[in-house]
């Protein structure tokens, strides 16, 4: 998907929808010390994906959540991130759906191109009126194996990490800014932080 948008000349519009499903309020993921809550403990992966596509960490976030009604603990939220080049990325994270429905869908638009990643089983790319579809015949491929291989190679060779530290740090700053945006109801700037040598 990133290669499809390589060399783009305009910002991306990205949407990452997650049908996470309900978990009980007593679940460890809701424990602030152990799981950090679903926004910090799970949404980090989706913000990381958008950061990878945009090529830089976000600089601003707005956030809204559905009322909990005593059944959820901040599990239904929409985060919209602005990236340095003007790209926009939205994470719609929902616990109020049915787990039988596919969990993840990513859509991205830029420069007359559209890409849709459907539950990490198919990737549809459309440009200049032509459609290309890639499907996984076996199982979902979320890139876990490739991630471990890239990490091991970086450690073995002493090279740069596969994910830049600025991106790792930026994603976490973005998540804590999103928590603040939810609490305050106001957009939050995400301050840049350079890695010190």
Minimal CA–CA distance to 88: which of 119, 49, 61, 118?
61
Per-residue confidence (pLDDT) for residue 154, from 0 to 100? 65
Looking at the domain assignment, is residue 194 inside a domain?
A: no
Q: Is 121 exposed, middle or buried (0-12, 13-18, 19+ CB in 10 A)?
A: middle
Per-residue confidence (pLDDT) for residue 29, from 0 to 100? 78
User: Dmax of the chain from CA atoms?
Assistant: 52
Domain hosting 98: range is: 3-189
Per-residue confidence (pLDDT) for residue 140, from 0 to 100? 60
Per-residue confidence (pLDDT) for residue 88, from 0 to 100? 99
C-alpha 142/C-alpha 144 separation (Å) is 6
Q: What is the count of structural domains for the chain? A: 1
Per-residue confidence (pLDDT) for residue 109, from 0 to 100? 98
Per-residue confidence (pLDDT) for residue 89, from 0 to 100? 98
Looking at the domain assignment, is residue 7 inside a domain?
A: yes
Q: What are the per-10-residue average pLDDT scores of the chain (197 residues)? A: 94 97 80 77 93 96 89 87 98 94 96 95 95 79 64 74 80 94 96 60
C-alpha 36/C-alpha 109 separation (Å) is 32
Looking at the domain assignment, is residue 13 inside a domain?
A: yes
| Triad 114, 117, 119: Cα angle to 5° | 160
Q: Phi/psi at 106 (nearest 5 deg)? A: -120, 130
Find the helix packing angle between 165-184 and 43-54, rounded to 10°.
120
Per-residue confidence (pLDDT) for residue 197, from 0 to 100? 42
Looking at the domain assignment, is residue 181 inside a domain?
A: yes
CATH number of the domain bearing residue 125: 3.30.360.10
C-alpha 106/C-alpha 16 separation (Å) is 4
Per-residue confidence (pLDDT) for residue 146, from 0 to 100? 66
Looking at the domain assignment, is residue 95 inside a domain?
A: yes
Q: What is the pTM of this model?
A: 0.86
DSSP for 95-140? SSS-TTS-SEEEEEEETTEEEEEETTTEEEEEETTEEEEEE-SSS-
């Amino acid at each position: 998907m990133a290669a499809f948008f390589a060399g783009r000349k305009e910002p991306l519009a990205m949407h990452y929808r997650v049908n996470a499903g309900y978990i009980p309020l007593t679940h460890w993921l809701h424990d602030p010390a152990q799981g950090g809550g679903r926004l910090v403990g799970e949404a980090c992966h989706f913000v990381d994906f958008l950061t990878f596509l945009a090529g830089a960490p976000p600089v601003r976030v707005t956030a809204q959540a559905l009322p909990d009604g005593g059944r959820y603990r901040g599990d239904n939220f929409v985060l919209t991130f602005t990236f340095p080049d003007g790209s926009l990325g939205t994470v719609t994270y929902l616990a109020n759906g049915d787990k039988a429905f596919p969990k993840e869908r990513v859509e991205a638009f830029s420069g007359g191109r559209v890409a849709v990643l459907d539950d990490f089983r198919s990737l549809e790319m459309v440009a200049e009126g032509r459609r290309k579809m890639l499907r996984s015949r076996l199982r979902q491929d979320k890139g876990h194996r490739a991630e471990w291989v890239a990490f091991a190679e970086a450690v073995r060779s002493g090279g740069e990490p596969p994910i830049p530290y600025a991106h790792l740090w930026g994603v976490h700053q973005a998540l804590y800014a999103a928590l603040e945006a939810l609490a305050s109801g106001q957009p939050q700037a995400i301050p840049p932080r350079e890695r010190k040598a």
